[in-house]
Structure 1
């Protein structure tokens, strides 16, 4: 699954239109129905669910993280989680939008805490990235899909993406360690892993969000 935040037709980042109470009720009902279909693996339903809600998810992420790149990452993570956990959604506990906002808040706050923790380690030890630099999207992919599917989709990556992701997530190396091992800059490692994870998500879900 690839969420193209820069696509001009993508609703992410657009202001939320003013809605009437009746419209809100209709939208909630529609989202409940879409989530039920998504839980059954309906990719078209997921695409529509994304289009109807992504501007709210992205907006909340921006407000918490105060950065567009980080907000885009969190939005990607939230919708991957929504796709994999739609069948566990319970409408008696929260509305679909409330459920998404909860997922977004958790993801964004966790990211802030991780970044603060990393900054504190840097100040204390004078060394960058002492902790494992896990990507939450990779954790979701690894945990939520069976090993055969992951192995198959790993083969769809470019050789460089495959090597870099294998070193980071199966070799247990930090991003700086991968960079040192391959003799390439750290930003290049992060770029390869980011692009590779997007391709993995697309392969595993079979859904390309325009």
Structure 2
């Protein structure tokens, strides 16, 4: 929904209910959690009826946790923002599908956030793998000769088969470095992993490909 961008810029400090609050004692903490859950149920119910104010309050109260989970999974700020907006678009459209017998309101929303984040990572991984294979297939095509075409097709098949023997992490790292044109430090920053891990993944991936390619 168009208002999400505006909602995203509003601080959650003004929310009517904040699921992240931590009261002093265990009794108070339990009471506050029950109050927060009850309030979120009310907001979800009102959102299902098309109440924009309720949706805004729901967003303010929960978006920091949704964004935090998305960021931990997708590892990129912009991608995490995109996932967060997708989650709340779904919440706006499907609030009426929430079933309190299956999960708490925040549990349901966080489940949506986890699914969207994992889907995003899977799509990105498949995309980089396809791009890498496509790039390798197109390298060195300077001849339009039948014999050369046959040979290249055999090599392409071998490359694709070889890529399938790598782990998802190895394929993604290799694609970013060799087809994406990134340096090892840039790959490490992009994936949010240590530089030695990047070097190790690529080294092991290349060794594995050497055993599968003709």
TM-score w.r.t. structure 2 length? 0.54
Q: Cα offset for 1:66? A: 1.2
Q: How does 1:9-48 map to 2 (within 5 A)?
A: 9-11=10-12, 16-19=20-23, 20-48=29-57
Q: Cα offset for 1:88? A: 1.0
Q: How does 1:127-166 map to 2 (within 5 A)?
A: none
Task: Report the counterpart of residue 117 of structure 2 in structure 1.
Answer: 108
Query: Which whole-Å CA distance do the structure 1 matches of 2:130 and 2:109 have between them?
Result: 31
Question: Greater relative contact order (Cα 8 A, min sep 6): structure 1 or 2?
Answer: 1
Query: Which whole-Å CA distance do the structure 2 matches of 1:86 and 1:56 have between them?
Result: 18
2:65 counterpart (56, 61, 67):
56
More helix by share: 2
Q: Cα offset for 1:2? A: 2.5
Task: Report the counterpart of residue 3 of structure 1 in structure 2.
Answer: 5
Contact 1:62 1:71 in 2 (8 A): yes
Task: Report the counterpart of residue 175 of structure 1 in structure 2.
Answer: none
Distance 1:5 1:114, change over 3 A: farther
Task: Report the counterpart of residue 74 of structure 1 in structure 2.
Answer: 83
Q: How does 1:80-119 map to 2 (within 5 A)?
A: 80-119=89-128
Number of residue equivalences: 124
TM-score w.r.t. structure 1 length? 0.55
Query: Which whole-Å CA distance do the structure 1 matches of 2:31 and 2:77 have between them?
Result: 32
Query: Which whole-Å CA distance do the structure 2 matches of 1:102 and 1:69 have between them?
Result: 20
Q: Deviations over 1:119-151 (max 9, x none)?
A: 000111118xxxxxxxxxxxxxxxxxxxxxxxx
Q: Find the residue that maps to 2:4 and give its secondary structure.
A: coil
Consecutive unaligned residues of structure 2, counting only runs of 5 or more, are: 14-18, 24-28, 137-214
